[in-house]
Each structure stands twice: as structure tokens, then as C-alpha cells.
Chain A
Amino acid sequence: MSIFADKNTKVLIQGITGKQASFHVQRSMNYGTDVVAGVTPGKGGTTHLGVPVFDTVKEAIKQSGANASVMFVPARQVVVAVTEGVEAELDLMVCIADNVPVKDMLEVKAILKGSKTKLIGPNTPGLITPEEARLGIFPENIHNKGRIGIVSRSSTLTYEAVLETKRALAGQSTVIGLGDDMIIGIDFVDCLRAFHEDTGTDAIVMIGQMGGLFEEEGAAYYQSLSHKKPIIGCVAGNTLPAGHNMGYVGEVMTNGIITVQDKVRAMQQAGIIMVDNINDIHKELAKVIAEC
């Protein structure tokens, strides 16, 4: 079992003909992901990597039955790409692009509001359900199927967390990178809820990052659950001085300077097992697995 995407997910690729897209989509297909269509405006009617290319998302869905998309479009096309996907009522969209302006994300969030579409990212490695579907740019060779769910706000530390599950002799149900940006689509709460509903997930690894209150909100949600699956948590950034790079406003927004220690405390109080170093996750994970 898994969350959000599995072997039955039919995937379309927005911006399929680009160089980076081609490299990663081919790998996803080799991995077994059911890529059914591509979209590149102006290239409709052609074929790329063996799948039909359409001019619009709407047309691609009509012809291929796709229910999820991975966007390899450049940052400045993200608003349009998301709008197309939301209008076509895709279940899931993954946005890989880095450098999406914050104002564009405010618009994207407004478009997503009230829709059925879940957006992962931007600036994310995406989602991978080992041996079933790779929606993004995960280094698939480090993954193995299992019963640990991983959700991380730091892209590259997601990979580190995956390696930790391996060290604990376990595998992953689904791995999700939420994205490194200031404004993101789905968050910890969405993922923790889905992992708790998933019968294929026994325990969760949650990797936080400085900035925002995503960890605090995730922790509060977890605390509210009557039935809890064990979570191992880690927030990187103990060494950095608190509140750096933030003017007053950043501090006003969060009611005072939020440090990594504040996040760790909030997660701990909610019952999350916290580790200081990411490479210590496997030790706690092994204990949790033994009890499962």
C-alpha cells in the first residue's frame, strides 16, 4: 500500500520534451511508472519517449485517462501549468521547478483552494512509491519497498532518510518531498493524515526545516490523533544562529523568533521521537520496527 500514487496511477508529463524531463521521465518509465501522455504546447500530435504528446492537459486527459501529472515546466510557466491541471481536475500534481516567484505561488494556492487537486512542491524531488511509481526526480536506485512512510521538507535530506530506513533493514511505503520553498502545496498535516489512513504504513519519518510553522502544525495534528503511528522526527539547522536572514516581519509573522529548538520541542511534546542527527534515525527506527 501507499499514499497518493501507486502502480495504478496514470501519469502525464507537462513539459515532456525538455532535456531534463526526457532524462527523468525515461527513468521513471523504466522504473515501472505508468506514464500515459505528455503535454508540450505546439508539439501536439507527435510522440516522445514512446508516449503521445498533446497541446493541452485537457486533451491529454481525454485521450489517455491520466489522473496525475508531473510538471517539468520552467518556473515562470508554473501558474499556467497548475491552472490547466486544476481545471482538468487532476488528482495529483507534482511541481519540480525551482525559483517559482512567491507571488506566483500565492496565485497557485488561490487556484488550488476548493479544488480536488493536490499539489506537491514546487522545488521538490516529488513522490515515489517504491517498485510502483516515481513521480519526480528521486534517485530510484536507493529505494526499496517497505512499510515506513517518509515526508520531508528538505529535498536532499529525503534521500538521507531513505538510506536510514535501509540501515534499519526496512523499506518505504511512499516517500514525499514537500519542497524547499516558502509557499508549498500539500504539507505535513496532509501527509501525516494519509499515512495514518494507509494500511501499508507502520511508522513515519518526518524531516523538518527552518522557517514557517509547518512542523508545529504537523505536530499539533499528530497530537490530536487518538490512534497514533510512531513518528521519528529530525529538524536540521541546530548550528545556524536563530532568526538569521529574517527582518522584523519574519519574526512578527511567527510571533517571535522560531528556532530549530522550538520546532524540536513542539514535535517532542506531540509525542514524536526526535533525533539530533539525521544519521541516528535508523537506531530509533529499528526500535520502533521491533515493537510493530
Chain B
Amino acid sequence: MKLHEYQAKQILSHYGIKIPHGKVAYTPHEAKRVAGEVSARGPWVVKAQIQSGARPKGKFKEKSAGRGSGVRIVTSRRAVFNEAEEMLGATLVTPQTDKKGKIVTRVYVEAYQQVTQLFYVGFAVDRMTATITLLLANLETDSITDIISKRPETILRLPLDFEKGVTIKQTRQAAAFLELSEKRVAKLKKYIQGLFKVFVETDALMLEANPTGVSKRGDFIALDAKLTIDDKALYRQPDMIPLFDAYEVEERELRAAKNGFQYRALTGSIGCIVNGDGVALAAMDLIRSRGGETACFLNVKGGVDRDKIASGIKLIMTNPRVEGILINVLGGFLRCNLVADGIIAAASEVGLNVPLVVRFEGTNKDEAKQILETSRLPVIIAEDMQDSVEKLLQAMEEGD
């Protein structure tokens, strides 16, 4: 689960990390009002709150939103109002969103913070060593995106102890790397350790303070914040759940997630129901190699409840993009007969108007085939994955 910048910053601040004064606003009037609350005088920064990085490099689709990016610096409260009015309700496209972009529903108004130096601070899990790793980079000349693509070797990586976090030795190394004077080491350690604590205690998968600035007084300040929480740990992070922004997720995805399944929307015409990411990807590869494209896929891996499976199948059947359905189930934990029941339940409720090809293998596959055969639904049964894709494409062609 991704958080908005303002939400992440509130959490950081709660852990004692310094952030610029700021408040969220949903209307231009509110933006103007909170500007006065966060700082008696300008400049202010008005930041579009969408869950995407690279907002300063973003552009709005609508002309009414002006030429500015998703992050705008202004010197008067009137200008705060104007910029908020332009951005709110408009669609921001950044290098990290898709082409459709995202509608800005709220802005964050911040007091402009003067800093002497900028650098990148990130925390992530190194999958290969199973350690939390601190990542640092100097942002004197390039943004972190450019550093990653041009000279990734200049990023300092420090594996952190899961219990203790950053050591004093590592902090000194970090300070030297960032060309900070030695008297800054204590404050740097406190800053890094605070972020580490946020990372561990919120069950984060990713935390970035990009950029981090150093104020004239030598304080470290998180000028932006990105925080992603591990969905699998949300059960023990009750404070995070109200922060979820449903707008950022597609509706079908949400409905699938309610039943514990994953739904992904793509741009083709074939709806895939599979169990497992690997099968989803292999099926998509195969569909493309035969000249088709995938509209969406639903992963029902681990499903044990036939009603939930049925409602998942309905999501695919009722997607207007879908002109053909491919069901590829290799039952292990998931039993094929439950999927067969689900197909029938879903079809009887919403109707089956497009070709549907099923391939069952593994646990209870014979029962599943029998269920479908006796149902008299116009379902095509295939023998293997390749066969299923070919049969579906053929049926779709004949239907045209």
C-alpha cells in the first residue's frame, strides 16, 4: 500500500524527523487559508498529491492547469490560491505514471525550506541478502533517476542490522560520502536512525526521503517522502488502513482484493483467469506470441471459497473489454472443481456471451471437467496452455 506524501510526512514527523511545515488542502480556499497557517510569509510550495514520484517533472493534460509541473513555488497567498485552483481536478502525467495520468484531488501546501545541500536517502529490502539496506546519493548535479541510469555505482549502500539499525561507523562513512563535516555526524545518525525506525515499525517495503536537505543550522530535513507499506502486514498496522486511498486503485482491483485475489487491467481483449503470477505471465507471453493481447488477468491463487472464486470470475465476465476468456488452472492448493463451480455460478448470474476456454490440470481436474460437461455451458475444454490459447483465439475469430 502506497501512501501520499503528506501522509508519509506526518508519520515521519511523529517519529521526530524534521519536515517543512505543511498542510493538505482540498479546495483553493482551503489552500490559501492553510498557507497562512503553515507560514506567516512566503514563499510556499504547492504540491499535487498523487501517488507518483517525479511530480516536479510532470505536466498537466488540461490547458487550464497551466504549464507548471506538479510542484510549484509561489510568493503570495493569492498565488497559492491560483495554483491550487489550476491543479485541483486536473490530470497530472509524470514519468512514473501511465499516459492516462492521475487526477489531483488534493494539494499539500508547505513553507518553502531553504537548504544548503541536497541528497537522496532511501531504505529498501535487499532480497538476496535479506537485509534492510540504506541507500545514499549526492544530488549536487543529477536527480536520483539520472544517477540510477548513468552511474549507479556512485550510490552508497549500507546493509543495516535488523535489530540495531545504523552504526556509528556506518554513519561516519555516510557523512564522509556525503561530504558533511564531522560535527554533523550525531545529527545525521539521529536522522537515519529515525527513518530506520519508521521503516521497521510501519512494516515498510520502501521509504524514501528524496530529497533530504541540510538547513543552515545543520538540521536534516525530509523535503519529500515516499512510503510503501507491506500489504501482508496490514493486519498489524491498524493506523495505516484509514490512509488507504481507494481512488489510486482500479475498482475491479479493489473488489478482487476484497476476496484475496489480484486483478490487473491491461489493454487487450482477452480476460485471463489463472492461479499464480508465473502462469499469468506465461499465458500473456503465449497470447502475444499468437497475435492476441491480454485485457486483464485475475489471479485466484490460494482460493478455497467457491463464492469468492465465482465473484472473481464475474469481474472478468463483466469487463466490457473482454472478448474472450481464458482459464488456466493448475490446481495444487486450489482445487479445480471449485473453479468449475465458480464458472457456472458466475455465468448463471451475468451470462456468458463470449467464448470461454478452460484448461484444468492437477488437483480434482476430472471432477472439474465433469462439472462443466454436465452444465451444458458453451465452454471449450483444452488440454494444455498452448492448446487453450490457440482454441480461444480461433473461437474469437469465428465469433467475429
Contacts and interface: CB of A to CB of B under 8 A. Distances in A.
B330 interface: yes
B331 A139 contact: yes
A16 B153 CA distance: 49
A101 B153 CA distance: 30
A277 B130 contact: no
B376 to A, nearest CB: 27
B278 A156 contact: yes
Given A142-B362, A256-B152, A76 B235 contact: yes
A128 to B, nearest CB: 10
A156 B276 contact: yes
Given A139-B363, A183-B127, A103 B200 contact: yes
B91 interface: no
A237 B232 contact: no
Interface stretch (B41-49, B63-71, B166-174, B202-210): B202-210
B94 interface: no
Interface in B223-264: 226, 228, 230, 232-233, 235-236
Contacts, number: 182
A3 to B, nearest CB: 20
Given A96-B333, A180-B276, A248-B122, A110 B162 contact: yes
A252 B53 CA distance: 15
Interface residues of A, number: 62
A237 B285 contact: yes
A24 to B, nearest CB: 8
Contacts of A279: 286, 384-386
Interface in B111-129: 122-128
B279 interface: yes
**Range, interface on chain B:** 35 or more
Contacts of A248: 53, 122, 144-145, 148, 208, 210
Nearest 7 Cβ contacts at the A-B interface: A154-B278, A139-B362, A156-B276, A101-B233, A109-B130, A157-B278, A236-B281
Interface of B: 53, 96, 122-128, 130-133, 135, 144-145, 148-149, 152-153, 155, 162, 200, 203, 205-206, 208, 210, 226, 228, 230, 232-233, 235-236, 274-279, 281-282, 284-289, 294, 301-302, 304, 330-333, 361-363, 365, 384-386
Given A139-B362, A247-B228, 20 more contacts: A76-B235, A101-B233, A106-B130, A110-B130, A125-B333, A153-B278, A154-B277, A157-B278, A159-B361, A160-B279, A160-B385, A180-B276, A236-B282, A237-B285, A248-B53, A248-B145, A251-B148, A252-B124, A253-B126, A253-B133
